[in-house]
Amino acid sequence: MTLSFKASMVGPSRVGKTTLLTAILAETETMLSGTEIDLVPDEETEMRIRRNRKELRRAIEAREFDSASLEGSQSMVRYNVSLRAAGDRVQGIPFSILDYPGAWLDPAERSRRPEARENWPECEAHITESLMLLVPVEAAVLMEAVTPVQRRAVADLLGFEDVEAMARKWARARNLPEHREEPAVLVIAPLKCEKYFDDNGGKGREAPRLRQLVREKYRSMLDIVLEETKNRTVRVVYAPIDTYGCVDLMEGEWTDRIDADGEASLDFKGHYRFREIPPRIKVKAAGTVMQELCRCVISGQDRVEQQQAAAAKATYNEALERKAEPKGFWGAIDYHLSGEASENKSTRLSSHKAMTTAEGRRAKLAESLRNIAMTPADPRVEEW
Amino acid sequence: MGDNEERLDAVLRRRHELLPVVDEQIDRWRRILQLTTELGDAVAGTQAVDPGGDIAERLGALDLAGMARAARDSLDALATVRGRVNRGTVNIGVSGRARNGKSTLLQSLSGLDDQQIPSGRGQPVTAVRSRIYHSRTERGARLTMHTERSFLDEVIAPYHAELGLGPAPRDLSAFSRHSYPGVADGPDGRDADQPRLGPMLARVREAQQALASYREFLTGGTRTEDLAGIRQWVAYPEADAEPDRRPYLAVRDAQITCAFPIEDVTALGLVDLPGLGELTPGAEAHHLAGLRNDIDFAITVKRPTDTNAMWAEEDARALQLIGSACEVADPRDFALILVNTGECLAENIEALHSDLRNRLNDPAQGRGYWVILADGADRDAVREQILKPVLEHLASVLPRMDEAVIADTVAVCRDRLDRITAELDRVSSAVRALSVPTSTEQTIARAESLRAEVAASLQEWVDELRTRADNEYEDTEFYERVAEVHQAVRDWVLSGFGEGAEEWQQRALNRFRVDRASLPFASAELNRIRVEMARRFAAVDDLLLQRRNEYWAGLVAALGPRFAALIDGRDTGPQEAITALAAVLRDAPDPCPALAETFGFALDVRLDYRTRVLPRLRRALDVLFPEDDDPGSGSTATTLLAVPRTAEGSAELYGRVTQLARQAAYDAQAVLAQEPRTTAQVLFAYGEQFEDAFVRSDSSEAEFRRLVAAFHDLLWPGEGTGPHAAAEGLRRVRRLTTELRGSIADERSRTVGERKGR
């Protein structure tokens, strides 16, 4: 397994996860501008992002686009990105965000699906090591459900069952003794919030209602997390994100459907229009995800340094050995931020010049990481 | 002025002074009679509404009819006294069977002749009994006419009764068509009655045949006639007159005024009393009534002819009648037997005189009846031998007779008062043994029960409103209506705003060319679309108003059938019903303003589109404003509306305006889709407030009591029978008993006070 900083994502497919990642990349790049540090996706992630950008361009040409119907996530997707210094083609600080079907948490479901059986050990390990649980929410589903029958359809459409099961699994892992010292952040991220805010070119005044609805609908998930992390704290971040920033929900369409259990329910599809011509993408608050991940890393690093200063080296090493078995978060801190990775690489390069260059890049990376973590949060973002 | 005149005037003055006292006493006794009658009705009422009940059983044993009879006795006695003291003249009645010279005597006494007081041979000629008053200045006749009703009741009905013909005809037309039999069988169908009934039947048939001659005079009014023309109004037609002309049948009473040939009296009246044996129905009763009410003294005339020279049984009966009419006075003070000697044989006169002297006035028994022998046709003899002695006699005995009549009446009244008091004590005793809630207690209990009943049903109604206000309540009808209106608006948008996409684009292009800009057209269109869209969404108003009507209907139903009964018979909708209820409560005898106000509050529900929806819907339409309120904010809308002034540009603008309109319509429907819940919450709040104010306000308890007190019968319409009604009846009996006791005490104190004062 790659030694990376991990996050897990749970939410219905087609909620806009790839668009979210695209937005995260875009905002992180803005934060990194002028630093010679890039956020680089791996090949598969880049393909997804490329495809997503192509669809967006087509929509802009058409002046209108529709959101896809929401469904439970059917397959596992891993989004890998790295913070990497310019010119460094291999190394960097890798982040891995795993999106997988919540239904896999059910052993019976897993037994029916070969893909689930095959990937579950990897999934489980990823969830256990995830610093962050990211819950994307389609804001329009919450906000546009005005009749009782529409409101009743919300829970299914937003996959509350999967989300809550996943939250329990993640929180329980975070509460294990070996992970109790590690950071834990739960990010609830309503997406496509353009219509409800007036701080990004829109005229909406419904931010309080969105916040209230999210609190109300995700209360039981938050209760589960609280209940499962009695021996530690979890940072809960509410981050309503504009993944486009230049669209308005034009019409919401509720249509009849038969759900997986054969019961009559409703489906929701949003029809969007561009607010201005030509449209200019104005992502809002998407950087929160990277910021929170960087904060986790920085806080881990700070903790290591504090312990180094406070204890004898031997004691520290013992502790490090204990925490690094298996390598996990602390191993990743040590490997990527304390110089092991570059030393290994330098050993291979066998050149002093190369070693000096690598050390410089490491320092820049660490600084960028800290800068991202320290960037003030978007005013929309709240810690609950 | 002679001595007699002075003394008789003094009698009349004294009588006149007594009149107001007697009238007051009559008023008090009338009140007592009214109360005893009402009490009887009330007791009968309790028995009727709850026949087997305790109340009916206990009160059933009482003799309330006896109380009313006693009151009537007193009133009868007082009426006699009143008749006496109310007379402005000293009246002398002249009685006697036909053909004994009664009319001749009246002529001699009054100075009138055959034209005014018909006398004659053969059949009796007096059709209407006159009263004749002495006046030195006035001369004439005043006739009081029958009404149709009094004619049928007093003239025709007695014939029907006597002849056994059933009830009298109900009106004159029926009388004119009535088929009378040829032979009078009488009620018993005995031939023996034929001689008596035959002439009666002939009289009534004559009256029927002559109806046309007097029908026009049955007015109930009075007529003044000259004495020269009075005969046709008081006498049967002469043999040579038209047989079917009988105007006298229309006369109810005749008063003749003329100067009597006397000097020493001013206030004198003569009353022609109907004779016994006259073949008219009810002759005897009329005679007695006349004796009782109209006269101070009676002269019985008897002419001793060959066949009439003995004091016969009918003569004795006439004298007995006179005695019974003046029970308290000695009949010998009250009556005189005139042996009319005119044209009679001396032996006949002597025979009768002897008969009177020996058989009627037994010498062994001291004072007998006053008998005078005189010729009734001899006016001088009548004046000197009859009138003067009679007036002298009356001047002497009338004060004594008046005292006796009054004393007797006082005794009768006191006795009846005692009887009524005794019966009233029995009533009180029976009533005391019965215990029912007082009217106030019952009103309070009823008010509480009504309040509790209404509170329960109002709470059910409010619970129903609460259910509707719940998040999960689905007003399917409303959502469907909203979807329908939204779809209609959307169709309008997509059909080129009602004019077609191509036409719209062409119009846009034309305007671009005129204005050399796209923004003016786009702005105007957005403004037009915004206004039209707000107007089109007003189509949901009907459903909002329907919800309000349903709220009112629910309220009316929750108030229950008792409140509905307050406006029973008004076939109205719920709004009108609530308005009417408010008016009923406001205009009640003791108004219930707070309850009425709560109805006013319920009527003031504002749910219309303009008040409820438009303010929020307008915000949904903001997207259709071509510019932001703050021009410095860098309106993005402008970038949408600025298009090339080409066909492509107009198509592009059409697409963008359509998108904005779709968004506005969608947002507007979302506002409307939230309306059922908001509306339901509003109605729930109104309902809750109504229920609270109606049942629990400060004044609610008091006003429910007033309501029950004022409208008890309407609120509990089915309670005309049963124990509740009997209890109500008992309360009435109690109230009347108390009132009657008060009236009796008043009468006793007055009677005692008057006796002391006298």
**What ipTM was estimated for this complex?**
0.83
Of B551 and A107, the structure prediction assigns the larger pLDDT to: B551
CB of A5 closer than 8 Å to CB of A130: no
Which of A148, A251, A277 is nearest residue B662 as measured by Cβ atoms?
A: A251
Q: Nearest 10 degrees: CA dihedral of B85, B86, B90, B92? A: -100
Entry pTM:
0.59
CB of B578 closer than 8 Å to CB of B600: no
- Read off the pLDDT of residues B587-621 as tens digits, 9 standing for 90 and up: 888 899 999 999 999 998 887 777 778 888 888 88
pLDDT of residue B12: 93
Residues of A whose CB is below 8 A from B660: 273
**Alpha-carbon span B278 to B203, nearest angstrom:** 12
CA distance A220 to chain B (A): 19
Q: Answer yes or no: is pLDDT of B10 > 80.
A: yes
Q: Is B463 in CB contact (< 8 Å) with chain A?
A: no
Burial environment of residue B633 by CB neighbours within 10 A (0 to 12, 13 to 18, 19 or more): exposed
- Band (B475; pLDDT cuts 50, 70, 90): confident
Which of B479, B663, B670 is nearest residue A273 as measured by Cβ atoms?
A: B663
**Alpha-carbon span A105 to B639, nearest angstrom:** 49
CB of B565 closer than 8 Å to CB of B714: yes
CB of A139 closer than 8 Å to CB of A240: yes
Q: Identify the weakest region by mean pLDDT among A84-93, A308-317, B511-520.
A: A308-317
Domain boundaries, chain A: 5-287+377-383, 301-372
pLDDT of residue B1: 45
Residues of B whose CB is below 8 A from A155: none
Say what percent of chain B tops pLDDT 90.
Answer: 44
SS3 label, residue B241? coil
Tokens 């028995």 locate to B47
Residue B383: name the closest of B499, B481, B262 by CA.
B262
Q: State the DSSP H helix or E strand holding residue B300, giving kind and residue range, or none if neither.
A: strand B297-302
SS3 label, residue B337? strand
**Alpha-carbon span B49 to B57, nearest angstrom:** 12
**Alpha-carbon span B406 to B328, nearest angstrom:** 9
Residue A28: name the closest of A38, A20, A18 by CA.
A38
Q: Nearest 10 degrees: CA dihedral of B416, B422, B423, B425? A: 140
Q: Is A273 in CB contact (< 8 Å) with chain B?
A: yes
CA distance B673 to chain A (A): 6
pLDDT of residue A301: 74
Q: Is A252 in CB contact (< 8 Å) with chain B?
A: yes
Q: Is A251 in CB contact (< 8 Å) with chain B?
A: yes
Q: Which chain B residue is nearest to residue A145, measuring alpha carbons?
A: B670
**Alpha-carbon span B352 to B357, nearest angstrom:** 8
CA distance B682 to chain A (A): 17
Q: Per the CB < 8 Å rule, is B670 touching A251?
A: no
- The CA distances from residue B467 to A146, A241, B464, B559, in Å, are 17, 37, 5, 19
Chain A interface disruption, residue of B636, B641, B654, most A CBs within 10 A: B636
Chain A interface disruption, residue of B482, B635, B654, B667, most A CBs within 10 A: B667
CA distance B677 to chain A (A): 9
Mean pLDDT, range A71-98, rounded to an integer: 76
- The CA distances from residue A40 to A11, A78, A298, B575, in Å, are 24, 14, 19, 72
Residues of A whose CB is below 8 A from B655: 63
Q: Per the CB < 8 Å rule, is A148 touching B474?
A: yes
Q: Produce one character per residue of B676-709: b if its CB has 16 or more CB atoms within 10 Å, e if not.
A: bbebbebbbebbbebbebbbeeeebeebbbbbbb
Tokens 């039999």 locate to B181
Q: Identify the weakest region by mean pLDDT among B12-21, B55-64, B119-128.
A: B119-128
- Read off the pLDDT of residues B263-299 as tens digits, 9 standing for 90 and up: 777 789 998 876 655 556 666 666 667 667 778 899 9
- Read off the pLDDT of residues B555-588 as tens digits, 9 standing for 90 and up: 999 998 888 888 875 668 899 999 999 999 998 8
Say what percent of chain B tops pLDDT 70.
Answer: 91
Q: Which chain A residue is nearest to residue B630, measuring alpha carbons?
A: A203
Q: Is A324 in CB contact (< 8 Å) with chain B?
A: no
- Read off the pLDDT of residues A21-47 as tens digits, 9 standing for 90 and up: 888 888 888 888 888 788 888 888 888
A-B contacts at Cβ under 8 angstroms: 47
- Read off the pLDDT of residues B435-455 as tens digits, 9 standing for 90 and up: 777 778 888 988 999 999 999
Q: Per the CB < 8 Å rule, is A275 touching B472?
A: no
